[in-house]
Structure 1
Amino acid sequence: MSEIHRARSVGIGRAHAKAILLGEHAVVYGAPALALPVPQLTVTASAGWSSRSADSQSDLSYTMTGSPSRAMVTQASDGLRRLTEEFKARLGVTGRPHLDVILDGAIPHGRGLGSSAASSRAIAFALADLFGRELSEATAFELVQTAENMAHGRASGVDAMTVGALRPLLFQAGRTRELRLGCDGLFIVADSGELGSTKEAVELLRDGFRRRPGAQERFVGRATELTEGARQALADGRPEELGSRMTDYHSLMQAARLSTGLIDTLVDAALRAGSLGAKITGGGLGGCLIALAPPQRAREVTRRLHEAGAVQTWVVPLKGLDNHAA
């Protein structure tokens, strides 16, 4: 282990959740997407040296706190091993030290909040901290994408970018820029408690496109129109129009059979309670919704969402994400 300088006994890395405001699925086909960091939900990774012998079957031990399913741990472990291999290759780490990685996070899994991307980013920075390497944002993105492509198939890159972003982002064709915010208000993210599946949703949508000529063009065209309208409304300070675009995007996801009965019920509850707009967020077939509420209606919206079946809610104030981006 001559190459490895053990200046640290443990490395720490952190990341946060994300929510897609508009643009789910269409972003994979070149359409724009608006993504929101959710700093209220974080994950911390710690990486340290293990006392296990180097000739053990694997040079990596991985622990997730909480009560994750066996399938989830297996999938996450496969992505982590690939990420660790890529990290060593890219940053010139030689030798085969046995590592212990512990992941402690508050981001619920399988809800479209970027838990896998956030975990990968936290681990990449924990490894960089442990090995005393500088990790650029570009390299961090590529490492996270390596794990995301294993977990979800072809990943758009939205999650990998947003789980490290400080501001809301516009993402299109692999490029990102910060969004200009002219609106006030609160985004309320509500967890339905239903596990979603991005991979399954992607396959369902693709199958629908194959079976119905012109369906892909119609979906992507409508998604682009709504997302661009929402971006302009967000910048110009027109929250009612932003909310309307969000609700229309939910209808688009419904028509593609990517929503669920419970999430539709939650969207209706949010709208009846005074939200300006509400929609499913993320890949679909379960997961979370996101609603835009005027500050004076936020408490009532949250209450109604819980009554309608939400198991958790989080409030993301737009004011806290304000910036002067173009």
Structure 2
Amino acid sequence: MSSHMTDHGPVTGKPVSARDGRAWAKVILAGEHAVVHGAPALVLPFPQLSVTATAQLAGSSRTRRDTFSFTMDGSRRPAPGAAEGGNDAMCALASAFRAAVGVAEEHRVVVEIDCTVPPGRGLGSSAACAQAALGAMAQLFRVELTSRLAFGLVQVAEQVTHGRASGVDAMAVATSTPLLFRAGTARELVPRCEGLLIVADSGTTGHTREAVELLARGFASRSGSREAFVREATDLTEAAERAFTGGRIQDLGTNMNSYHVLLRNAGLSTDAIDAMVRAAVAAGSPGAKITGGGMGGCVIALAHAGQAQEVARALASAGAVRTWSTPLGNVELP
């Protein structure tokens, strides 16, 4: 375990009664895939989709494992891939939390997670669930986590879920501020763009691991292709950040369009996603793109004030099963 997970001594006080943790979705405007190679990513919190978690002590002292259950789409069921006692990522998170803050082994927890962030859509569902569960466990054991420690602990779960995780999701699901993320650090941004961001669910699950492997095979087959991809992604993301903070929604949209082309040319989009992107732009959106790992998931689209309904209808006609929207410059936490 990394050295920054030693912010606390052992937990000696009596645990409190059940406590809640909270987190929310994130949306990447630019920077997907290149961010794991050290390039920047422009990311927004998206609190319209959120996660809450409740943690309490297990009722029996004979319980040997922490347990996790999820409510998704209104049905109580174990997390995907869960074994008895919870899925691997959540169990890894709980173990890392215990080691970091000194929770006694006899204190086993039951964590119930209520998630409205659709999984596999590039919106940070796994990181949001981990962040909410961590917050609930921290409150249960009267621990005040530093942001650095919390980030590291959520990353433990993210590495189990995704293999190689950049950290952008782990940081974004706990912030109320747009960020320019790079190499494990983030700079808070002040957005000045007027307008709305629309998130449209294609209804298909993305495939992050497959997308990463596909991109890696492409890099391996063409000398210099990784450097070219990262360089173009960096230029587009930095330009998008300047437009975002400078109030130039058209320029932001242009850079989002170009980033979508970059991902599409790398094989990370789908015909259905491309159709949604074209529909949004045809309806007047300044820019639209796939968001997240790719090969399915969600499309994001910009809209001028008063234009959001038209863009959302176009996305629905092109295949979106549901849409959500948020002001670009005013993140309101639930």
Please indicate the TM-score interval, normalised by the length of the shorter structure. over 0.9
| Residue deviations 1:113-169 (CA, integer Å, cap 9, x gap) | 000000000011100111111111111100000000010011001000100111110
Is 1:29–2:3 an aligned residue pair?
Answer: no
Structure 1, residues 21-77: CA drift from partner, whole Å, max 9, x if none?
0000001111111001001111001111222342x4x42121111358877242871
Please give the alpha-carbon distance, in whole angstroms, between the structure 2 residues aligned to 1:272 and 1:9: 53
Please give the residue correspondences for 1:1-326 in structure 2 after superposition, counting only pairs within 5 Å: 5-54=13-62, 56=63, 58-66=64-72, 67=75, 72-74=80-82, 77-321=87-331
Cα distance in 2 for partners of 1:42, 1:10 equals 19
Unaligned runs of 5+ in 1: none
What CA distance in whole angstroms lies between the structure 1 residues aligned with 2:295 and 2:77? 19
**Number of corresponding residues:** 319
- Determine if contact 2:279/2:314 at 8 Å carries over to the other structure: yes
CA contact (8 A) 1:188 1:315 kept: yes
Question: Unmatched 5+ residue regions in structure 2?
Answer: 1-9
2-side partners of 1:7 and 1:209: how far apart? 50
User: When the two structures are superposed, what TM-score results if normalisation uses the length of structure 2?
Assistant: 0.91
Q: 1:94 and 1:252, CA in 2 relative to 1: closer, same or farther beyond 3 A?
A: same
| TM-score scaled by length of structure 1 | 0.94
Distance 1:82 1:316 in 2: 33
What is the CA–CA distance in structure 2 between the aligned matches of 1:48 and 1:175, rounded to whole Å?
32
In 2, the alpha carbon distance for the partners of 1:182 and 1:128 equals 35
The letter of the residue matching 2:313 is: R
Match of 2:3 in 1: none
Deviations 1:61-107 (A, max 9, x none): 21111358877242871111111011011111113223211000110
Q: Which whole-Å deviations, capped at 9, do the CAs of 1:159-210 have from their partners, x for residues lacking one?
A: 0010011111001122201123221110101111111121221111111100
Q: CA separation in 2, counterparts of 1:62 and 1:237? A: 43
The answer to whether the 8 A contact 1:4-1:95 is kept is: no
In the alignment, the residues of structure 1 paired with residue 161 and residue 169 of structure 2 have an alpha-carbon distance, to the nearest angstrom, of: 12
In the alignment, the residues of structure 1 paired with residue 275 and residue 238 of structure 2 have an alpha-carbon distance, to the nearest angstrom, of 27
**Quick one: distance in 2 between partners of 1:69 and 1:308?**
32
Matched-pair contact (CA < 8 Å) for 1:59–1:96: no
After TM superposition, give the deviation of residue 308 of structure 1 in Å: 1.3
Instruction: Report the secondary structure of 2:47's partner residue.
Output: strand
Bigger helix fraction:
1
Structure 1 window deviating more from structure 2 (6-15 vs 113-122): it is 6-15
Contact 2:30–2:41, Cα closer than 8 Å, also in 1: yes
The worse-fitting range, judged by mean Cα deviation, of 311-320 and 162-171 is 311-320
CA distance in 2, matches of 1:199, 1:68: 26
Aligned-pair CA distance for 1:321: 3.3
- Give secondary structure in 1 for the equivalent of 2:117: coil
2:77 and 2:128 map into 1 onto residues whose CA distance is 18
Aligned-pair RMSD on alpha carbons? 1.8
Give the stretch that moved more between structures: 140-149 or 190-199: 190-199
Distance (Å, rounded) in 2 between the aligned partners of 1:189 and 1:52:
43
- Shift in Å, 1:316: 1.4
Specify the code of the residue in structure 1 equivalent to 2:27: A
Q: Is the 8 A contact 2:18 2:56 kept in 1?
A: yes
